[in-house]
Amino acid sequence: MFTRIKNFLHITVLMNLYSLRNLLTGNGAVWLKLDTSDLENMAQETVERKSLKLDGKNVLDLGCGTGTMLSYLHRKEHCIPHGVDLIRLNIHQCRKKMKDGHFSRQDIIEYLSKTKEKFDLVILYGVIGCFTVEDQEIIIGRIAKLLNVGGVLWIGANIYTDSVYKFQTYPVPRGFYEKICTDSSLWELDEFSELEVFGNGKYDQEQTTVLLTKKIIV
């Protein structure tokens, strides 16, 4: 019960406050301690690490905030941007930045059950922890169906239950991603410390990025 109230306050109050602040300051990150360049650097590192070729390809950012990563990938990699977020102000800012993008003010699970698009990169940066561990598995399963083979699901700012950082609403147990990979044999797993690779440890020095590459058709 407490966790659900915390999640509600986090998404409806805090996230709206950050979005309002971002409108006034121009900061592109819906975070207290991150800014536009943090998000852009992480997006670039991820593209390089997986040698992604996104020219003319669909990229979906779930919980896209003000569209900072998408707009960067649109400018630098010439991808077709798709974004989903619950906050009206965020979607408004995304549409202003990317006139030819596709944006929905919608719940992520609802969007995933309806869209007919296919993607080469799906981003969930700082978002997955808003969902129960059960729903996280459902979300990953639905994304699997929407990714092209060779496509990548990027789950960023991933926090584990034994982490020193205690503010994540729904952290995942150790072995969570390994189990998903062995259960389905669909994914190739690459996981790394965000502090080591992105230089990002502003929240939790142990937080990781998980990159799941889809190996076969489902």
Residue type, 45: E
Question: In the complex with ligand SAM, which residue's Cβ is closer, 39 or 79?
Answer: 39
Q: Where are the alpha helices (DSSP H) in 26-132?
A: 36-49, 68-77, 88-97, 108-114
Question: CA-to-CA distance for 170 and 174, rounded, in angstroms?
Answer: 13
Question: In the complex with ligand SAM, which residue's Cβ is closer, 60 or 186?
Answer: 60
Q: How many CA atoms lie within 13 A of 67 on its CB side?
A: 29
Which range touches ligand SAM (CB under 6 A), out of 79-87, 135-143, 189-197, 198-206?
Answer: 79-87
Residue 204 in contact with ligand SAM, rule: CB under 6 A: no
Name the DSSP class of 50: T
Residue 70 in contact with ligand SAM, rule: CB under 6 A: no
Name the DSSP class of 93: H
Q: How crowded is residue 79: how many other Cβ atoms within 10 Å of its Cβ?
A: 25
Pattern 151-180, ligand SAM, x by CB under 6 A: ------------------------------
3-class SS of residue 195: helix
* Number of residues binding to ligand SAM, judged by CB under 6 A: 21
Question: In the complex with ligand SAM, which residue's Cβ is closer, 35 or 190?
Answer: 35
Binding site for ligand SAM (CB under 6 A): 11, 15, 29-31, 39, 63-65, 68, 84-87, 90, 107-108, 125-127, 130
